[in-house]
Chains A and B, each alone.
Chain A
Amino acid sequence: MALSREAIVEQLQKIAGPEQVITDEQVLKENSHDRYRKLQSVFGIYALPLPAAVVKLTDVEQVSAVLKFLNENKINCVPRTGGSATEGGLETIVENSVVLDGSGMNRIIKIDADNMLATAQCGVNLEVLENQLRAQGFTTGHSPQSKPLAQMGGLVATRSIGQFSTLYGAIEDMVVGLEAVFPNGQITRIKNVPRRACGPDIRHVIIGNEGALCYITEVTVKMFTYQPENNLFFGYALDNMKTGFAILREIMVTGFRPSIARLYDAEDGAQHGFDQFAEGKCLLIFMTEGPKGISRATGEGIEEIVARYDECRKVNTQIIENWFNHLNWDPSKVQAERDFMRKNLNLGFTTEVSGNWSCINTIYENTIKRIREEFPHAEDLTMLGGHSSHSYQTGTNMYFVYDYNVVNCAMEEELEKYHVPLNAMIVEETLKAGGSMVHHHGIGKYRTPWTKEEHGSAYYILKALKDVFDPNGIMNTGTIYPLK
């Protein structure tokens, strides 16, 4: 028989200590969701089942004991650290779930400058780690917009990516070794070695598991030399996204690796005030970094390639540098957004997808066209556009951005009326063209209807992971894997 709410709390208190088990209603409410339900939370609406408790985790043995207990009693849990997720991955959709909060495990364990390895517990805020590294002349190379909020565990669990990915790669390229705990209490450590050929790369079972397979307690990432004095910025206005994609491709294929390579459409660019300098234009942005010679050579290469396209006009680099310096979300920006949402009933969402060079422009054009023509509440849209911000040898991503006024609609119905159908159109157009439906936010709980289609015949492998590692289905139910 399932344990009662009270019994769950009581048992958790025995395992973790009474002070570590929080049942304060406000805390439970805040831990029942993530930024997916941002408008509702602004109005104090918490529609999901509240978790039975939030457990403030302190060490790996305790994580193991707690998971073992939850597994034996088939109690669903939601692993959580910084809480900046956007796709519902942190929502407690099952009655009497337990939120496993690792934010208190926030020790930087080792900065190993010899081997260029930085080891941190799951609750270490990326910005804290990054600042410590920078003070010693190093960087993680990881800089997602959520850097001031996000913590190492969550960043790895969601396969996050940062603004400098084109040079440094995404989190999966940075993680060297890991420690994770599986639902049966098994603690696993993957050692830190530069490379090996000892069977499949098992790190990839853990990286991107979104709390649906295991709990990440410790992460070791690569360190890079920090030399911002060599950073160079470049900006170009142009008429068409298609040209922009072609330029991005040429730069990547020729062999240049700027740290930032972005392409904004006119609508999205206006959100950053670029319309004030190039009204109605798309914008290409590059930053090069690294050793002076490489940074300069990369910059020259970019300039040479762009010069071949008559459509492009150079933009004052100060504008680009200033944009770059104010890119991140900090708590005050999140607050300003909340205040604006409340007063203006206007909010925005993003959906990020990827595609090979041959289909990315099709994805962009078809998606925008379809939303304009088919979305039944298009008259409430206040913004619709997007940008590409992470390029690869073989293709790039597309980050769709859309804002809307909430009109004639209860707060509880806002997502169903607006975000859900918009998100669906983007995902469908992407899959149809042969791209991937999620580039870097994780599947969360709302893109699961397409998980099988995304993976096709390889879903067999994905499903096997769940069957083997979480046979009782207690790990973040409804995330990555569709609810049965």
Chain B
Amino acid sequence: MKIVVCFKTLADYPMLTERDWRVDEQHQVDLAWVRQVYNCYDESALELALQLAHDGPDAAACETTALSIDDSRADLFLRHLYAVQYDRAVRIDCGEEVDLRFNPLAVSLLLASYIREIGGQQLVLIGSEGGMGDNRQTGFLVAERLGWPCIREVIDVVPEESRECLCVTSRREGAVLTQTVGLPLVLVIGNVLRSPYLRVPTLKEKLAGKKKQVLVLSPTDLAIAPDNLSGNDRTLVGLFRQRQDRQCVMLAGENAREKAKTLYHQYLAERLKG
């Protein structure tokens, strides 16, 4: 089985303060100085794929690929993925001019083209959220472009007993769905409880990972003309920080008891009655 996990790294948003959210006239936010982290859903997807591939009895027959569309800053992460035993680390570089933040159609075209033309994988794992645009559409669109079935909000995947199929668990509104499915398949990964974090490589593995080459591809390598990427079903016309309407009243008091009293008598007693 050949598995590809498509991932994004993001600025570590909780590190940012109100004044850091400045949008320029080109609708860009300068986050170049902020440390990047794996998107949390993608991180779960990356670990899930490793477990599916390496912890089963068919480990030798599995091949794992980590794939990201990004500039060279992502290479650090891709080599880290080599260190945790990904077989291949691939980066698609579209150059600085192409803005893919709000273009999941183009992102899915690049991913699907890689899988079809070069990678040849049968199983795609992809986090449910996407990059800075939070588009939440890339996984669905990859499935459409490949013409493969797709399961969303996946929380676990294990080989089925006969090993012909996969057993996929996903969340539905108010329910948990378990499906036995064949390949090929796209899985959109949600909140994976069992193993949300990527494993930690040893020093030796890190060193080995650093020596490996990340495969860098351009759209042309995927037989995609630049025009095909600029086409989009939508156009970003504004990006802004929402004003918070509430004015928080800070309750003063000697101690917690005083504050709790004020909270109850001045604010909650009536409201609790409904």
Interface: A384 (CB within 8 A): yes
Interface: A428 (CB within 8 A): no
Contact of A318 among B33, B36, B197 (CB under 8 A): B33
Interface: A344 (CB within 8 A): yes
CB neighbours (8 Å) of A379 from chain B are 202, 204
Interface: B200 (CB within 8 A): yes
The answer to whether A273 touches B204 (Cβ under 8 A) is no
Interface: B76 (CB within 8 A): yes
Interface: B199 (CB within 8 A): yes
Per-position contact with A for B173-211: 1 when CB-CB < 8 Å, else 0? 000000000000000000000011101111110100000
Closest chain B residue to A346 by CB distance?
A: B200
Contact of B200 among A318, A319, A322, A405 (CB under 8 A): A405
* A326 and B203 alpha carbons, distance in the complex (Å): 26
Interface: B73 (CB within 8 A): yes
Interface: B223 (CB within 8 A): no
* A479 and B203 alpha carbons, distance in the complex (Å): 34
The answer to whether A378 touches B203 (Cβ under 8 A) is yes
Interface: A381 (CB within 8 A): yes
Interface: A316 (CB within 8 A): yes
Per-position contact with A for B200-233: 1 when CB-CB < 8 Å, else 0? 1111101000000000000000000000000000
Interface: B35 (CB within 8 A): yes
Per-position contact with B for A344-382: 1 when CB-CB < 8 Å, else 0? 101000000000000000000000000000000011111
Closest chain A residue to B199 by CB distance?
A: A344
Contact of B202 among A273, A279, A326, A381 (CB under 8 A): A381
Closest chain B residue to A319 by CB distance?
A: B33
Q: A322-B34, A343-B197, A344-B197 are in contact. Are A276 and B202 (CB under 8 A)?
A: no
Closest chain B residue to A336 by CB distance?
A: B197
Interface: A239 (CB within 8 A): no
The answer to whether A279 touches B200 (Cβ under 8 A) is no
Chain A nearest CB from B158 CB (Å) reads: 17
* A382 and B203 alpha carbons, distance in the complex (Å): 5
Contact of A276 among B73, B197, B204, B206 (CB under 8 A): B73
The answer to whether B203 touches A343 (Cβ under 8 A) is no
The answer to whether B195 touches A273 (Cβ under 8 A) is no
Overall SS of chain B's interface = loop
CB neighbours (8 Å) of A322 from chain B are 15, 33-35
Q: A326-B15, A340-B197 are in contact. Are A276 and B35 (CB under 8 A)?
A: yes
Q: A380-B202, A382-B202, A383-B203 are in contact. Are A276 and B36 (CB under 8 A)?
A: yes
The answer to whether B196 touches A343 (Cβ under 8 A) is yes
**Residue among A344, A378, A384 with most chain B CB within 10 A:** A344
CB neighbours (8 Å) of A273 from chain B are 12, 35-36
Interface: A172 (CB within 8 A): no
* A325 and B195 alpha carbons, distance in the complex (Å): 29
* A169 and B5 alpha carbons, distance in the complex (Å): 50
Closest chain B residue to A315 by CB distance?
A: B33
Interface: A30 (CB within 8 A): no
The answer to whether A403 touches B34 (Cβ under 8 A) is no
Closest chain B residue to A382 by CB distance?
A: B200
* A216 and B89 alpha carbons, distance in the complex (Å): 57
Per-position contact with B for A309-347: 1 when CB-CB < 8 Å, else 0? 000000010110010011000000000000010011010
Interface: A275 (CB within 8 A): yes
* A322 and B13 alpha carbons, distance in the complex (Å): 12
The answer to whether A381 touches B203 (Cβ under 8 A) is yes
CB neighbours (8 Å) of B196 from chain A are 343
* A319 and B35 alpha carbons, distance in the complex (Å): 8
* A322 and B206 alpha carbons, distance in the complex (Å): 26
Contact of A344 among B36, B73, B200, B202 (CB under 8 A): B200
Chain A nearest CB from B255 CB (Å) reads: 10
Per-position contact with B for A29-69: 1 when CB-CB < 8 Å, else 0? 00000000000000000000000000000000000000000
The answer to whether A382 touches B35 (Cβ under 8 A) is no
Q: A275-B76, A279-B76, A322-B34 are in contact. Are A343 and B195 (CB under 8 A)?
A: yes
| A–B pairs, 22, beta carbons within 8 Å | A273-B12, A273-B35, A276-B73, A279-B76, A316-B32, A319-B35, A322-B15, A322-B33, A325-B15, A326-B15, A343-B196, A343-B197, A344-B199, A344-B200, A378-B203, A380-B202, A381-B203, A382-B200, A382-B202, A382-B206, A384-B203, A405-B202
Known interface pairs A325-B15, A382-B206, A383-B203; 7 further A-B residue pairs with C-beta atoms within 8 A, sorted by A's residue number: A277-B33, A279-B76, A322-B15, A326-B15, A381-B203, A382-B202, A384-B203
Q: List 7 A-B pairs, minimum CB-CB distance, nearest first.
A: A273-B35, A318-B33, A346-B200, A382-B200, A316-B33, A381-B203, A319-B33
